[in-house]
Structure 1
Amino acid sequence: MTAPTNTLLDRYQEYRVRRWLVHETRMAGMLPGWRTRHRRRVLVILTAVAIFGVFATGVLCAFDLRWGPLVILPFLAVFFPAWIMLRIASQSQDNAPEQTLDEWQIAQRNTARSIGLTITQTLTLVPVFYLIYGAVLAPEASAFRTAYAGGVMALATLLAGGCAPAMILGWNQPDPEPEA
């Protein structure tokens, strides 16, 4: 009896490659002026500032500022366009299937993903410890305020770790070669 050559994971990977190629074709001509290293670095900085702002909003909410939850809106208004533009300008290499990348790109992507995981694990400790010890050290604090502030801080740390691979690759990729 022979083993099946086309397992569920193989079929999913083939589907992912097909979907990736369609996505890459659709995005290939978008934002040509933003594909330079300088412009990608501007997008990385905007994304990082927005993520930091989301985290700072969580800290403000922890101190019970009434207008604190509204502060998140401008940061999200900066984050989403900057993040989407960064993914387009860097060709979403951080999420590309292995079959679509060469060996150097795979190594770069895997390194960036490893750093992103480390960032996620490390930074998420801050809101986790806030949530754990916040209730112990300040039992009179509002449970809603504590939960909201911790949730916003956790969101920011997860965004930082999840966006880190694309930010690292976008920062380090060389300028695209001019088309002849």
Structure 2
Amino acid sequence: MSDTVLDRYQAFRTRRYLQNEARYAHYLPGWRTRSRRRLLVWILVASLVALAASSIFILVGPEWAPLTWLPGAILMSVSWTTLQIVTGRRSDAPADALDEWDLERRNAARSIGFAITQGAVTVPALALVWATTFTDDPRLALGGGFIILSGLLVGICSPGIILAWTAPVDEPDEFPTPTTHSPEKGSA
């Protein structure tokens, strides 16, 4: 039985995921509780709302309006990266790296995220196409692009948000944290 390019790529993704999971497992142990994960979700959602509001402001605002997108983008990047670390990147983990329960939860969250992405991108894209028949204002293209980008970010973040919010209450196996002692120290 020969491996296809896709099989080799999936094996590579799984190895890389497991290496990264081991590398980051000890990062931010205090943020792996349910209350802290939910706080991160609220911060991330607030940053996504700020991005969407800024995108609408770009449509009607002055020339410097695109700069208002920057604070939300920075906050979103930091909160999303932190959430991915404390959840072990379960939302985009390869199937071979997850057990059946995690795989089922990941697939359900991804399905919801896909539906959110479709709505968050298709509706503004259709509105942008429709609006361009009435005006050739360059702010429309710029603002519309930022709105669509915001919709994509909402869709991309949705599975991680869902998994972080619905994860069991502080299950030690859910998002691993390092042990407080190593075998070498215990045997000395």
Aligned-partner residue type, residue 19 of structure 1: R
User: Residue in 2 aligned with 1:113?
Assistant: 110
Task: Quote the sequence identity (%).
Answer: 39
Structure 1 position 8 matched with structure 2 position 5: yes
Partner Cα separation in structure 1 for residue 47 and residue 10 of structure 2 = 33
Structure 1 position 27 matched with structure 2 position 24: yes
Aligned-partner residue type, residue 147 of structure 1: A
Aligned residues: 174
User: Residue in 2 aligned with 1:160?
Assistant: 154
Deviation of 1:64 after TM superposition, in Å, equals: 3.2
Deviation of 1:97 after TM superposition, in Å, equals: 1.4
Structure 1 position 90 matched with structure 2 position 84: no
Counterpart pick for 2:98 among 101, 108, 113: 101
Structure 2: give runs of 5+ residues left out of the alignment: 181-188
Structure 1: give runs of 5+ residues left out of the alignment: none
When normalised by structure 2's length, the TM-score is 0.86
Contact 1:35–1:176 (CA under 8 A) maintained in structure 2? no
Counterpart pick for 1:172 among 161, 166, 172: 166
Deviation of 1:122 after TM superposition, in Å, equals: 0.8
Partner Cα separation in structure 1 for residue 5 and residue 63 of structure 2 = 51
Deviation of 1:126 after TM superposition, in Å, equals: 3.0
**Equivalent position SS for 1:124:** helix
Partner Cα separation in structure 2 for residue 115 and residue 56 of structure 1 = 23
**Equivalent position SS for 1:45:** helix
Aligned-partner residue type, residue 93 of structure 2: A
User: Residue in 2 aligned with 1:134?
Assistant: 131
Deviation of 1:77 after TM superposition, in Å, equals: 1.8
Aligned-partner residue type, residue 124 of structure 2: P
Aligned-partner residue type, residue 81 of structure 2: I
Deviation of 1:117 after TM superposition, in Å, equals: 0.5
- The 1:135–1:6 alpha-carbon spacing in structure 2 relative to 1, beyond 3 Å, is closer
How does 1:43-54 map onto structure 2 within 5 Å? 43-54=40-51
Partner Cα separation in structure 2 for residue 108 and residue 169 of structure 1 = 7
Q: C-alpha deviations, 1:50-80, integer Å up to 9, x for none?
A: 1111111111111133442121111112111
Structure 1 position 38 matched with structure 2 position 32: no
User: Residue in 2 aligned with 1:147?
Assistant: 141
How does 1:43-82 map onto structure 2 within 5 Å? 43-82=40-79
**Equivalent position SS for 1:91:** coil
Q: CA RMSD in A?
A: 1.6
When normalised by structure 1's length, the TM-score is 0.90
**Equivalent position SS for 2:132:** helix
